[in-house]
Amino acid sequence: MQFFIDTGDIKEITEASKWGIVDGVTTNPSLIASTGRKQEDVIKEIAQIIDGPISAEVIATDKENMLKEAQELVKIHENIVIKLPLTMDGIAACKFLTDNNIKTNVTLCFSSNQALLAAKAGATYISPFIGRLDDIGHDGMALIEEIRNVYDNYGYMTEILAASIRHPTHVRDASFLGADVATMPFKVLKSLYAHPLTENGLEKFLSDHQKANK
């Protein structure tokens, strides 16, 4: 499983990159807006830190303007992946970009039927939002399982990018079910390291070492 960090915060990306486990970055208009900076400037800086896929989302809602934005975004860096909403225009734009060898990430996916549409359009990634489904009483992990089964049934190459991850259990369960990528906030990525037995064990080792060397 690949790990992407879901943020527009350069400090978080810089620190996480030092851990050696981050494969890519996902952003969205909300994350970029929280930085108070232009999307182009943020993406350029991210590309200098992470050598991997960087999802940059279009703002337009119609195919024509999505494609115009996409053409500008891909000029920023070769690792740019165009993030598109799962709408009729978004899927149409996905098909066009795929046919022109531009990578895509179809986002805001909440059903296996939607994921099937994205795969048929040749999306590089599909982003099911598991946390948002959980928030309204649905089972986000059931969606990951459904999409995995559909894609495996027909040999689709679209990668499942588990998104809207809220906690470490989401990461664990997504890995069990065969998600190709998990994208998560900095705090969730950092929390994957934590376990009380690891911390207690390390404290004991250090304590025993100090006693033995007195």
Read off the pLDDT of residues 24-64 as tens digits, 9 standing for 90 and up. 999 999 999 999 999 999 999 999 999 999 999 999 999 99
Euclidean distance between CA atoms 160 and 177, whole angstroms:
10
- 23 band by pLDDT with thresholds 50, 70 and 90: very high
pTM of the model: 0.93
What is the pLDDT at residue 43?
A: 96
Q: What b/e string do you get for 35-67 counting C-beta neighbours within 10 Å, with b at 16 or more? A: beeebeebbeebbebbebbbbbbbebeebeebb
Enclosing H/E stretch for 32 = helix 29-33
| Eight-state DSSP code of residue 129 | B
Q: Interior CA angle at 127 toward 67 and 93, to 5°?
A: 20
Residue 204 pLDDT greater than 80, yes or no: no
96 C-beta neighbours (distance < 10 Å), count: 17
Supply φ then ψ for residue 75, to 5 degrees: -75, -20
Domain 2-212: state its class. Answer: alpha beta
Residues forming the active site: 83
Q: pLDDT tens digits for 190-199?
A: 999 988 888 8
Residue 115 pLDDT greater than 90, yes or no: yes
Neighbouring residues of 89: CB distance < 8 A, sequence distance ≥ 6: 61, 62, 63, 66
What is the pLDDT at residue 34?
A: 93
Closest CA to 106 of 78, 137, 128: 128
State the chain's mean pLDDT as an integer.
96
> Percentage of the chain with pLDDT > 90?
90
Cα pseudo-dihedral 34, 7, 112, 110, rounded to 10: -30
